[in-house]
Amino acid sequence: MSDPLPSSRLTCHATLGLIAATLTIAIPAHAAERRGGGKLLLTNGVSSIDGAAGGGLASWAVIAGNETEDGIGGTAHVTYITLPDFTVRSAGAAIGISDRIELSFADQRFGTGKVGAALGLGRGFTFGQQIWGAKLRLAGDAVWAQDTIVPQIAAGVQYKQARRAPVLNAVGAARAKNLDLYLAATKLYLAQGLLVNATVRLTRANQLGLLGFGGPRQNGRSAQFEGSIGKMLSRRLVIGAEYRTKPDNLAFAQEDDAYDVFFAWAVQRNVSLTVAYVDLGDIATRRNQRGLFVSLQGGF
């Protein structure tokens, strides 16, 4: 019953193409004057699994791209998570404008492997979703405002559209489309080489949205927490940890919080690699889904 989802691939490619076209239009011949490229390495975060700039699991208040207040920047990423019974893939891109506005897109695939057959869905059955995001920096500067304890604060919205609506309804999800709202605060203490982030998200997403939204246990949005802490070992290497709480809406399976322990490496000025040990807890009756998270990001 595995479905190659050709139309979804076309949609993903078309969306990524639109982002690329937007960048081409937005950055004409005088691009060298518009593109700042002046951020310190890794201070713009990496691409989160939802597509926004941040950590692997959490969305931060930082803006994607290497641009400064006079420029336009962007990133593209591919992410792969391998778990004992499932796989998660994500690919997407983001645009940063004047280090104040961020627009992002991510396409996620959740492969069930052998478990798909055991659940009656078919071996290799794949769930998925697309996420369109926007973020606005409201106040502060996470890096350069070192003379104050006020963090950089940003508000974000993510529109999530999950695939397989009939199957999602059958397992108890109330809907296949939904809007996440979040408020993030991020601060980098340069002298200590320490980065901290706290995010509050209003969501009804089941397994980040891959299994739809809402359910018999709870159908309204609930406030969830995303926290990150990182230590800069050098200008090119950061280690840290993240924790993300998730709602428990579905009746057929308990949903656990997620956490990771990561390191992010600036391979070059415009290329970064993130590797993490990630624990997503129990997923769809399968216990202890812990594994390897790998994400490659390119940007300017």
Q: How many CA atoms lie within 13 A of 191 on its CB side?
A: 3
For the chain, the domain total comes to: 1
The Cα–Cα gap between 214 and 235 comes to 42
The domain that contains 244 carries what CATH number?
2.40.160.40
Q: Is residue 12 part of a domain?
A: yes
Asked if residue 11 belongs to a domain, the reply is: yes
Whole-prediction pTM: 0.85
Catalogue the E-assigned strands of 2-100: 46-47, 53-54, 72-82, 87-97
**Is residue 139 included in any domain, yes or no?**
yes
| 168 vs 47: CA distance, rounded Å | 27
Q: Is pLDDT of 11 > 80?
A: no
Check residue 280 and give left, alpha or beta (phi > 0: left; psi -120 to 50: alpha): alpha
Domain that holds residue 268: 6-299
Confidence (pLDDT) at 13: 47
Tell me which of 11-15, 81-85, 278-282 is least confident. Answer: 11-15
Quick one: pLDDT band at residue 31, thresholds 50, 70, 90? very low
**1 inside domain:** no
Task: Tell how strand 290-299 and strand 46-47 pair up.
Answer: unpaired
23 domain residue, yes or no: yes
| Band of residue 135 on the pLDDT scale cut at 50, 70, 90 | very high
What span, in angstroms and rounded, lies between the C-alpha atoms of 86 and 88? Answer: 7
Q: Return the pLDDT at 176.
A: 96
pLDDT at residue 55, as a whole number: 94
Residues 6 or more apart whose Cβ sits within 8 Å of residue 249: 172, 173, 174, 204, 206, 213, 214, 215, 216, 217, 218, 219, 255
157: tokens are: 């919205």
